[in-house]
Amino acid sequence: MVSFSQAHREPVEEVETTVWACTSDACNGWMREEFSFSKDPTCPLCQSEMKKETRVLPVIE
Ligand SMILES: [Zn+2]
């Protein structure tokens, strides 16, 4: 059974994207790597270290 959200009735294209994710368990901060101008960014919300990970995100035109 496919849920509504998995059915992708809206034609939203998604792609694997490299992001910086906050290392703090209490924080959900993250940013797209392409929008970060630092090689070693800190979280804009809590100033924790950030680590690279891959997420599937909608394509930005
Ligand atoms: Zn954070």
Task: Name the residues around ion ligand 1, CB cutoff 5 A.
Answer: 22, 24, 27, 29, 43, 45-46, 48
Within-domain flag for 5: no
Full domain range(s) for residue 35: 13-58
Alpha carbon 23 to its chain centroid, in Å, reads 13
pLDDT at residue 12, rounded to an integer: 84
Conformational region of residue 32, where left means phi above 0, alpha means psi within -120 to 50, and beta covers everything else: beta
Strands (E), 1-61: 14-22, 30-32, 50-58
Distances (CA, A) of 26 to 4, 22, 29: 30, 9, 9
Within-domain flag for 49: yes
Total domain count for the chain? 1
- Dihedral pair phi/psi, residue 11, rounded to 5°: -80, 70
pLDDT at residue 37, rounded to an integer: 83
Distance in Å, CA 48 to ligand 1 centroid:
5
pLDDT at residue 4, rounded to an integer: 58
pLDDT in tens, the chain (61 residues): 655 566 656 778 999 999 999 999 999 999 999 998 888 999 999 999 999 999 999 998 7
Distance in Å, CA 27 to ligand 1 centroid:
5
Within-domain flag for 52: yes
pLDDT at residue 61, rounded to an integer: 77
